[in-house]
Amino acid sequence: MDMNEIKEIFFQECEEQLAELESGLLRLNDGDTDPETVNAVFRAVHSIKGGAGAFGLDDLVSFAHVFETTLDCVRSNKLEASQDLLKVMLRSADVLADLTAASRDGGTVESSRTSGLVAELEAYAKGQPLPSASAAPAPAPAAAAPEPAQAETPAPAAEAPEPTDDSGFQPVPFSFDALDGDDDLAIEDGRSVFTVRFKPRSDLYAKGNESVLILRELAKLGDLQVRCEADDLPSIDMLDPEGAYFSWLIRVETDQDEEAVRHVFEFVEWDSTVEITAGADEEAFAAPDAQGGDQPMAAVPFDLSLLEDVPAVSAEAAAPEAPAPAAAAPAAAGDESMAPPNLPLAAKAIAAEAEKKETVVPAVPAAPQTIRVDLDRVDRLINLVGELVINQAMLAQSVVENESGGSSAVNLGLEELQQLTREIQDSVMAIRAQPVKPVFQRMGRIVREIADMTAKQVRLVTEGENTEVDKTVIDKIAEPLTHMIRNAVDHGLETPEKRTEAGKNAEGVLRLSAKHRSGRIVIEIADDGAGINRERVKAKAIENGLITADANLSDEDIDNLIFHPGFSTADKISDISGRGVGMDVVKRSIQALGGRISITSKPGKGSVFTMSLPLTLAVLDGMVVTVANQTLVVPLTAIVETLQPEKSDIHSFGPSQRLIAIRDTFCPLVDVGNILNFRSDLANPVDGVALLVESEGGGQRALMVDAIQGQRQVVIKSLEANYTNVPGIAAATILGDGRVALILDVDAVVTASRGQPLSPDMMLAATG
């Protein structure tokens, strides 16, 4: 496992920690007072900081550190988790997520965002929230704690250790002196003495950490006097070789602060007891026999120069600058990286030992019933299954071609194969399917943020959070969704005053819902705001030259203007709408996913944005049709019904429009071959088949094709990735006979049939 893989695992874990962090903060926000929630939140930030430290991600570490410090104050009851503080923390979690993303993908986070929050967090940690943070009074009922920390005298050496709280955590006293740069612990030449009691638990070793490395790191800070307490060591027969029996009393004389000493233990803090006190505990060192141990252990002064020829234990795993114990921390992979290649241990033995570890150490939490699989592997599997589907189709085809009638046994076998292939495919797809919950959760914070910035009152209601959809889709909807949510709060909802005037509740409601509908996922964002101001939209469009002043547009057309590139009704560029992302970008990113977006708006009642996305981007059920000697695939989800038009059903309308009468209604007839320029003249409807389709924009159209070949599941091969975007075509696929068939973009064809040209950037002016 190389460094990049370990790093990748770290980022995956970061995602989990960030989700944990946010849900914890939200629970606290909802009034949860369970100390374990605070601990969970703290641990999340702490773990991110720990891993980031190992990889030298300094921005991430320094921000996480400040965040953690403030959380520590909450954890140790020095600071109350007030609503205002939680708001700051939720924003900090947001920044932490951004910093993580920036570390992973490159890029930066505006330093003003981090520095502002750092200042706010630090102010809270000092018990003096910035006035700008909120108008609320300083939430520090336990203010007695932080303030005296500014004490002029050094903490007495023999100070009693902090009590351990219920959860077993050892709250480490945090010296605010360190922040202030005070140096009153100095004994000589600006050097301080700390006494460290370090007792590892077996978990520490089980997780691949090593006390030797910790002590080595400590030795780098200055001069050490180390006393090993081995009284717990049993006889060799009773010894568990994987156990932790040693503990250490260490006197550190260093020119660094307590924070630096604490830093050495930060990766093992959960798996050991660490007490750091300022000053020397001469008594403990002076009286080794006082413990009654039969092995008097004299303190051995330790000198860093001794370490110089010691080979770096984790040299192959860690970057030279990274603290060695840290390298093992971010992943269980640490174990592996520590293992020498020539270790004469069978893999079996290691596994057996691992099992033993589980049983011997009950403190190790039971492993969750999940495994972490590299997404690439799943994708490869999906690709292979795709090939299998194609292959199975080819096999079926050749059976049909070679055997007249076909023996029933072969056909039966083929049918079973088809069913199995289908099941395999569904199962593989299910591996990638994930609930939209994490994305929805993130929206809660965004709503709060924007509401704060715009001084609006908003309640976010989410529905169908457990609706599952392919991971690629989830990853890609977060951004457009964020933008739409921002938009809905910023432009959709009115200010409390205006709402009250209009007789509405001052608090606006934003409803975010997800559901499955006919093989797609439909996500709706509905606000109960003022609805689209069509007058203003139209005026703006005329002003920007998007439409002519005399253009006659339907309400739907006007609403859809907001998806036009560069369109913005915001009179002034605000923080929210000034990010250079317009609804056109939202629309394009949704379309790139094979999705559609539409809007319906009622003046005074609000607007509803509806996104419809495919559940997967890998396969599709399609109707294989022939159009002008070309084979095309029409997505089955778009087709309402198919019919054979009678001559009497066809009616002409205007110069080139034709309508087909279906039961009681007329439906425009669209010649696919003509729209796609496969042929210049219109086909005779009576010779072909009409596919009644429903487009996302609403309304039905009858698509004329020459013949239907059959219904098939096809594997989607991106045209964009392999060739280039072709208007009217969504993607391509490989058929059973090995030929490439194009998959029709039904909506684009329907839009084109309205008289708009088939180009990626449809000019709205043409509608005028």
Partner 1 sequence: MSSDGTSPKVLKLPEVLDLNAASRLHEQVLAHKGEDIDIDASDVNRVGAQCIQVLLAAAKSWRAEDQHFKVEPASEVFVKTLQLLGISDEALLPKEMLK
Positions in the binding site for partner 1 (CB under 8 A) = 200, 205, 208, 210-212, 215-216, 219, 224-228, 230, 233-237, 239, 241-246, 248, 250, 295, 297-300, 302, 306-307, 309-311, 313, 335, 338-340, 342-345, 349-350, 353, 356
Q: Which pair of tokens denotes residue 96?
A: 């932490």
In the bound state with partner 1, the residue whose beta carbon lies nearer, of 242 and 584, is 242
Q: Specify the DSSP element, H or E, that contains 624.
A: strand 619-627
Task: Tell me if residue 459 falls in helix, strand or coil.
Answer: strand
Cβ atoms 52, 323 nearer than 8 A: no
Contact 299, 229 (CB under 8 A): no
Q: Residue 145 Cβ, how far from partner 1 at the closest point, in Å?
A: 34
Shortest CA distance to 595 belongs to which of 540, 652, 693, 519? 519
CB 594 within 8 A of CB 588: no
Q: What b/e readout covers 630-651, taking b as 16+ CB neighbours within 10 angstroms?
A: bbbbbbebbbeebeebeeebbe
Please say whether the beta carbons of 493 and 458 come within 8 A.
yes
When the beta carbons of 297 and 375 are compared against partner 1, the nearer one is 297
Q: Which is nearer to partner 1, 102 or 228 (CB)?
A: 228
| Closest separation in Å from C-beta 201 to partner 1 | 12
Minimum CB distance to partner 1, residue 12 (Å): 24
State the minimum distance, in angstroms, from the CB of residue 331 to partner 1.
Answer: 15
Q: How many CA atoms lie within 13 A of 672 on its CB side?
A: 32
State which residue, 338 or 689, has the beta carbon closest to partner 1: 338
**Is the CB of 215 or the CB of 590 nearer to partner 1?**
215
In angstroms, what CA-CA distances link 131 with 89, 117, 323, 439, 527? 16, 13, 39, 33, 33
Comparing CB distances to partner 1, the nearer of 354 and 707 is: 354
**Integer Cα distance of 244 and 234 in angstroms:** 11
CB of 194 to partner 1, least distance (A): 16
Residue 519 carries which side chain, given as an amino acid letter?
G
Nearest to 88 by CA among 130, 34, 54, 46: 130
Q: In angstroms, what is the minimal distance from the CB of 351 to partner 1?
A: 12
Name 156's Cβ contacts closer than 8 Å, sequence gap at least 6. 279
Residue count of the chain: 768
DSSP class of 1? -
What is the nearest approach in angstroms of partner 1 to the Cβ of residue 208? 7
Closest CB to partner 1 among residues 157, 299: 299
Closest distance to partner 1 from the beta carbon of 256 (Å):
19
Q: Which residues of 681-708 are buried (b: 16+ CB within 10 A; e: fewer)?
A: eebebeebbbbbbbbbeeeebbbbbbeb
Q: If 0-12 CB within 10 Å is exposed, 13-18 middle and 19+ buried, where does residue 182 land? A: middle
Q: Which is nearer to partner 1, 30 or 309 (CB)?
A: 309
Output the smallest distance, CB 8 to partner 1, in A. Answer: 24
Residue whose CB is less far from partner 1, 305 or 404: 305
**Minimum CB distance to partner 1 smaller for 245 or for 666:** 245
Residue 43 Cβ, how far from partner 1 at the closest point, in Å? 23
Which residues lie across from 733 on neighbouring strands? 741
Provide, rounded to whole angstroms, the least separation between the CB of residue 283 and partner 1.
17
For partner 1, the closer of residues 310 and 721 by Cβ is 310
